[in-house]
Amino acid sequence: MATTILKLNCPDAVGVLARITGRIAAEGGNLLEVSQYTDKTSGWFFARAAVEAGDSAWSPEKFESSFAQLAAELNASWTMRPADRKRRTAILVSKQDHCLVDLLWRWRSGELGLEIPVVISNHPDCRPLVEREGIPYEHVDFCDDKDAAFQRVGEILRANDVELAVLARFMQVLPGWLCREYDARVINIHHSFLPAFVGANPYKRAFERGVKLIGATCHYATEDLDAGPIIEQEVARVEHYHDPDDLVRLGRDCERLALARGVRYHVEDRVLVHGAKAIVFRD
Amino acid sequence: MATTILKLNCPDAVGVLARITGRIAAEGGNLLEVSQYTDKTSGWFFARAAVEAGDSAWSPEKFESSFAQLAAELNASWTMRPADRKRRTAILVSKQDHCLVDLLWRWRSGELGLEIPVVISNHPDCRPLVEREGIPYEHVDFCDDKDAAFQRVGEILRANDVELAVLARFMQVLPGWLCREYDARVINIHHSFLPAFVGANPYKRAFERGVKLIGATCHYATEDLDAGPIIEQEVARVEHYHDPDDLVRLGRDCERLALARGVRYHVEDRVLVHGAKAIVFRD
Amino acid sequence: MATTILKLNCPDAVGVLARITGRIAAEGGNLLEVSQYTDKTSGWFFARAAVEAGDSAWSPEKFESSFAQLAAELNASWTMRPADRKRRTAILVSKQDHCLVDLLWRWRSGELGLEIPVVISNHPDCRPLVEREGIPYEHVDFCDDKDAAFQRVGEILRANDVELAVLARFMQVLPGWLCREYDARVINIHHSFLPAFVGANPYKRAFERGVKLIGATCHYATEDLDAGPIIEQEVARVEHYHDPDDLVRLGRDCERLALARGVRYHVEDRVLVHGAKAIVFRD
Amino acid sequence: MATTILKLNCPDAVGVLARITGRIAAEGGNLLEVSQYTDKTSGWFFARAAVEAGDSAWSPEKFESSFAQLAAELNASWTMRPADRKRRTAILVSKQDHCLVDLLWRWRSGELGLEIPVVISNHPDCRPLVEREGIPYEHVDFCDDKDAAFQRVGEILRANDVELAVLARFMQVLPGWLCREYDARVINIHHSFLPAFVGANPYKRAFERGVKLIGATCHYATEDLDAGPIIEQEVARVEHYHDPDDLVRLGRDCERLALARGVRYHVEDRVLVHGAKAIVFRD
């Protein structure tokens, strides 16, 4: 029997969780898992629930319409979907393929609940890796006209009904209109533990600064580059004898892990964005 | 206004969380934090809630009696207490003082919600460290008659209304009757990442085996030595050039951290024991 | 100009390192990197050096014959090879492909100094993944006659001049003759932080024990199963809500990282086996 | 027999290590441990060696004068000292005592090779903690005249023949003249993983940014605040439910560990400063 995932945020008030869980129980739903967080500063309530049929009265459709009424009373933003519905996801990549290969493996193995209708790149290099998986590869030329190129990216995303775009080391800065159109639905991997080394060449700058840790940050892309809500971070120890090439090599493993986890949390509806921050109910 | 901490476990059923949170709301309580877990294998439900006054109707005493009725209906084991009530804790120590010193500092700084009415030891060595903090130190001689010594330990624990005993590198094996009397209320720190190196001399054996990680395990003491429910573990990387003394040194930091966190989780009512395992709602 | 890697171990004595580095300098070699360790217990000396041409007198061939004399005087076991020579490596796999895919990506990207003349499996499942990389796939049937199957594995290894065999989740226990024939040249990945959960089903047993850490161990295969010298270990935190399937999922990332690092250390001549232990000069 | 620690850096050249180790052997010294690093970018050579008597000819004094000649030939900066000589160390602290208490425990237990002739503070709060260890406590008033206060600090350091000053959460910015006078001999702990959150209130800013990792950085104090060579860093995971007070609490453990390790590396002569970076031969 399919599990239903409910995700919601609303102003906090006495009894919010009781009303939500009460409604689930009243409709015959059985709570498998519930995560909840209240931000006392902003007075905001966040929750995620995994619900399955508890008795024969349960119907996801009936629950959805019943819950819509409650959500309106709570002034809630919310989503509901079957846990096994896969997210239509485009991967954007430049030349470096380590994050792409990792995501493709996790997709193929079923570890990540993705459908991948398309991979988009500003370079032709990764085409063979992608097409051998049976996934269309769209090479968009960014050399001449970046605006036109991003318009083309937007068209491809829309034509493929993309729900999530993953920037898997895509070395182009997204324009504001695209960030807004896919607000909280574009995930980027930055190759430093933000906010350290915002901007270009973080490994080179980490080497010059002599840090003893390097890292990677998975975050939502926003107009303000490298300032979007952070979903996940990973670090690795480095030593004085690691040169910039070593940092790149060691960093790749951080990037792959942080991105894979961040994408997983997103597609499992475990992330709720609130202002500049991401509430992440980790699994 | 004081916060109330509710901890409970019961057989799982449709609507358990709704009934609990509904009762809290009905009594005028505001949920600050709720953690929940359902063990599908055993069909058991676990929860912890932090509740404060939501409106003027709230009274912790009234809520307690109201909740007692619900708990009976749910066949629940449960506890309720003010968040700021400190736990009466005895520390048992032998000669090594690193865990003791760490706990004393965390207690003095207010980081851990403990009262420490007594420190018990089978050696006189740590007396000055303890008495300068204004804490009585009971030296119990274990050389002659271990049974009598443990009887004396039991008397001291009872005379001091001890709710929790922390074995902070106490190098004596507790008898079964004491483990049972303080079931799930004796916390031990073992100097390996259990179940590796169960028993004596784990650092020496880790050195001989050539492991690349050492660690420490914080667990409840049970009759079956080193097999009690695990609350927390910590590891550190080691290299071929670390000799057994280095492992002891590096391991001390693991031991202190794992023990301090485990004690914290316990005194904040974040641990629920279920069979051989500990459900830990980390903070 | 090619770099030469020298690896050696010998009885310790006053001046061993001076004699080695003196000989390198006398032959016109420039030390790029030297790692050294003396095991005081056994009185044994271990070293690795990376040497490049320091002046026009340098010749790797001349140095090798010169060094052979010194090595004989020191009673040393030693190897010397060009740093850029790739190691002929066979990968052995069963059905799970995560370690295989990871190694193939690191091989293709040049991160690991491997040639992979063959992948061997007791199942046909991974054939497409391997053959699309242009690598021959040998399916050996283990159902009927295990002895014959391992004889066949031995033939394939010899026919391909294999220098290193990597058991990338190969679920068959190697016979003693094969371990001896490829002594310290078979690397296995075990899916627990050894010596915890030696043997079968470590994730299931980790779940039942309720550990808060899981891990993976990369070690040389020996006749005494799971007791070979440990090269690398990796751990990940787990929580009470992780079921055995979650542990398998989280463990895969540990396995991939520990195996990739272990293989890297081996092919870069950074590992020296001494009795039950591995000296690893990490990079 | 006492071990001698030699630390040196010089321009790189063919045979540098051979000449150093050769001289050690010629003088009858036995190498217990040698660490070496060559910075190819700057062409600079760094080494640390632990030497004990190898035969009856060995004399540390004779070796020192012999080595001085070689060092002059190599244009080397170098130090030599008995491994068991303790470093005269002043601790500077403000009100927060967690790093101070940790250092005092490690000093008392003998884990750190320190003598502590004095603790200096701009507040009276920590006096009892310090004096009960038999260490003089100098309270210097910084409210009225900071320049005069730092002059007083300088006098105390000089009067106590201090070789190392540890800023254990000392909340005053050192003047340039003091940084220069104790160049590479003042160790600070910054409560973030630098270069993230340079400056004041890093935990508050980490909370506002919504990072998933916090940390601490142990570095040499320089005139350019928070930009000194990094010796050690430590991080801890945080979640959305951790408020700034939680970050402070969790960060304290990072600070204590990073500072204790950094101080250890320094007093064991494992750190060589080169420009903006620290070469650290970890143990």
List residues of B with catalytic annotation: 226
Judge: A209–D195 Cβ closer than 8 Å, yes or no: yes
Determine the 3-state secondary structure of A106 from DSSP. helix
Out of D212, D231, D241, closest to residue A37 by CB: D241
**D236 and C CB contact within 8 Å:** no
Q: Tokens 């915890």 label which residue? A: C196
Per-residue confidence (pLDDT) for residue B1, from 0 to 100:
62
Out of A102, A132, A249, closest to residue C111 by CB: A249
The mean pLDDT of chain D is 96
CATH class, C4-82 region: alpha beta
Q: What is the pLDDT of residues D89-140, one digit of tens each?
A: 999 999 999 999 999 999 999 999 999 999 999 999 999 999 999 999 999 9
Judge: C40–B243 Cβ closer than 8 Å, yes or no: yes
Judge: C241–B197 Cβ closer than 8 Å, yes or no: no
Confidence of residue C1 (pLDDT cuts 50, 70, 90): low
Chain A CB contacts of D279 below 8 Å: 240
Per-residue confidence (pLDDT) for residue D1, from 0 to 100:
63
Of the candidates C123, C73, C78, C136, which has an alpha carbon nearest to the alpha carbon of residue C97? C123
Judge: C54–D15 Cβ closer than 8 Å, yes or no: yes
Cβ contacts from A onto B, under 8 A:
64
**A111 and C CB contact within 8 Å:** yes
**How far lies B102's CA from each of B129, B168, C243, D87, in Å?**
11, 10, 34, 24
- Per-residue pLDDT tens listing for chain B (283 residues): 689 999 999 999 999 999 999 999 999 999 999 999 999 889 999 999 999 998 888 999 999 999 999 999 999 999 999 999 999 999 999 999 999 999 999 999 999 999 999 999 999 999 999 999 999 999 999 999 999 999 999 999 999 999 999 999 999 999 999 999 999 999 999 999 999 999 899 999 999 999 999 999 999 999 988 899 999 999 999 999 999 999 999 999 999 999 999 999 999 999 999 999 999 999 8
Per-residue confidence (pLDDT) for residue A55, from 0 to 100:
86
For residue C192, give the chain B residue with the closest CA: B196
Which one is catalytic: A183, A226, A253, A269? Answer: A226
Out of B101, B109, B241, closest to residue D98 by CB: B109
Chains touching B (at least 3 CB pairs under 8 A) are: A, C, D
Chains touching C (at least 3 CB pairs under 8 A) are: A, B, D
Please state, in angstroms and rounded to a whole number, the distance separating the CA atoms of residues C91 and C207: 29
Judge: C97–A109 Cβ closer than 8 Å, yes or no: yes
Per-residue confidence (pLDDT) for residue C2, from 0 to 100:
85
Q: What number is the average pLDDT over the span D71-98?
A: 97
Q: How many CB atoms lie within 10 A of CB A43?
A: 10
Determine the 3-state secondary structure of C120 from DSSP. strand
**C235 and D CB contact within 8 Å:** no
Q: Tokens 């295969």 label which residue? A: C221
**D132 and A CB contact within 8 Å:** no
**Residue boundaries of the structural domains of chain D:** 4-82, 87-280
Judge: B197–C195 Cβ closer than 8 Å, yes or no: yes
CATH fold of D87-280: Rossmann fold (3.40.50)
Q: What is the complex's ipTM, to 2 decimals?
A: 0.96
**B132 and D CB contact within 8 Å:** yes
For residue D45, give the chain C residue with the closest CA: C32
Out of C21, C29, C55, closest to residue D21 by CB: C21
**B40 and A CB contact within 8 Å:** yes
Confidence of residue C18 (pLDDT cuts 50, 70, 90): very high
Question: Is residue C54's pLDDT more than 90?
Answer: no
Judge: B17–A34 Cβ closer than 8 Å, yes or no: yes
Whether the domain at D4-82 and the domain at D87-280 fall into the same CATH topology: no
Out of C111, C132, C253, closest to residue A132 by CB: C132
- D73 min Cα distance to partner chain A (Å): 26
In single-letter form, the type of residue at position B146 comes to K
**A183 and C CB contact within 8 Å:** no
